[in-house]
Amino acid sequence: MTNRVRTIEILRFLHLDETGVLDALRTEGLFLEDEVGPEGAEELRVATSLMGELGVNPAGVDVALHLRRRLACVEARLRELLELLSDDGDQRSKR
């Protein structure tokens, strides 16, 4: 069971104005739930960092988070493929 945290609490932890940042992100359909799990909390941290430190608008944050998720999937798939190749190589060397 994963622990969920209220988005407002995460923003307070990050010392951010709860309403402005969250409302801006929600206009793009992001962080619509009042609570998020660990991955959602990390995405909220990244989103607020992109907006605050780099001046990325909410639409840009949406694109960046999507690309970040896709990259994580590609990396996981690459690890799986490398493991399969390694296992196949080990089996061939035993023959």
Name the residue range of residue 61's domain.
5-94
pTM: 0.80
The H or E element containing residue 23 is helix 18-26
d(CA 74, CA 78): 6
- Taking only the tens of pLDDT, the chain with its 95 residues reads 569 999 999 999 998 876 788 999 999 999 999 999 999 999 999 999 999 999 999 999 999 999 999 999 999 999 999 999 988 767 776 66
State the total domains in the chain. 1
